[in-house]
A and B are shown apart, each in its own frame.
Chain A
Amino acid sequence: MMLQEVTPDTFGYMLFGYGVILGTMALFVLSLVNRFRNLRKDLELLEEIKHSGAKTENS
């Protein structure tokens, strides 16, 4: 009888690999969203301070 090579079960490694690939991409996208949100808040706050400063000067 001829020896047959059996395909190894590496399904777990594949899942782990794609988990890392897609997880890292998702984390990067989330970090972009988070940084956008923080910068928008900063900009709004700066605008508020600028306007309240201008009002105090006028009064």
Chain B
Amino acid sequence: MQPMPKTLKILNGVTAVLLLVALCLVFLYAPREAIMGDVQRVFYFHVSAGWVGGLAFLVTAVAGVIYLIRRQSRWDLLAVASVEIGIVFTFINIASGSIWARPAWNTWWTWDPRLVTATIMELLYVAYLMLRQGIDDPDRRARFGSVYGLAAFLSVPITFLSIRFFRTIHPVVIGSNDPSAQGAFDMTPRMLQAFLFSLLTFTFVYVTLVWHRVRLGRLAEQVEQRKMEMLTA
């Protein structure tokens, strides 16, 4: 296993600092929202986690296409790494949304189009990981993952657009709200700055985590290779 590259070490530090600054902006710089109170602060990391989920699944789809063209295992490694991170951050997005919804909508969960589509998206990618486990041949597994990752990506724009296409109580951050949306608010300049900084921070968190997860995948490949060498020797 190669030692951690210097760039990754720097990235670790930068990401940690950015996360700390983002937390300071969220808790100390952004004002308290008058209607919802402190729980509105969940919004900054809730949306950023959703952004990372979508970005991660996009990277999986793109890496899948490149794998199908070039047949290099590193693209499959990137696709799996990205799915895993996408699942974690989509879970954060759904869970934090549910906690926000309790005081805002007076319920932990409702069968709203955004919540349903986000959950289906999450389950589709959990299935991606589970189905991959059942395929032994690495090349077949990678081909399956690439095609599945591309098909499952359809769920990402559907989730994003669900609050624009369907009648929903979920607020729209970018664009106009449905009149039935509950919990919408106007962002002040300080709120917008904290929000944009959170988005940037989570993008850094994604890049850092995906790099580490790809390295983990390479190490796992190395172990498998050694095992095969010993079995065939």
Given A36-B216, A36-B219, A17 and B35 contact (CB-CB distance below 8 Å): no
Return chain A residues, CB-CB under 8 Å to B41: 14, 17-18
The reply to whether the CB of B36 lies closer than 8 angstroms to some CB of chain A is yes
Binds A, one of B88-96, B145-153, B171-179, B186-194: B88-96
Determine the chain B residues whose CB is within 8 A of the CB of A10 once the complex forms.
36-40, 103
Residue of B nearest to A20 (CB): B95
A55 within 8 A of B: no
Q: Chain B at the A interface: mostly helix, strand, loop or mixed? A: helix
Cβ contact within 8 Å between B36 and A43? no
- Chain B's nearest CB lies how many Å from the CB of A7? 5
Selected contact of B205 from candidates A25, A39, A50, CB within 8 Å:
A25
A7 touching B35 by the CB < 8 A rule?
yes
A35→B102 CA distance, assembly (Å)? 35
- Return chain A residues, CB-CB under 8 Å to B36: 8, 10
Q: Select from chain A the residue with minimum beta-carbon distance to B104.
A: A10
| A residues in contact with B229, CB < 8 Å | 50
Whether B39 lies near A43 (C-beta < 8 A) is: no
| B77 part of interface (Cβ distance < 8 Å) | no
A9, B223: Cα distance in complex, Å: 53
1/0 per position for A1-43, CB-CB distance to B under 8 A?
0000101111101101110110011001100100110011011
Enumerate chain A interface residues (CB-CB to B < 8 A): 5, 7-11, 13-14, 16-18, 20-21, 24-25, 28-29, 32, 35-36, 39-40, 42-43, 46-47, 49-50, 53
A-B contact pairs, 20 of them (CB 8 A): A7-B33, A8-B103, A9-B37, A10-B37, A11-B37, A11-B38, A13-B38, A14-B41, A14-B42, A17-B42, A25-B88, A32-B216, A36-B219, A39-B220, A42-B223, A46-B226, A47-B226, A49-B230, A53-B230, A53-B233
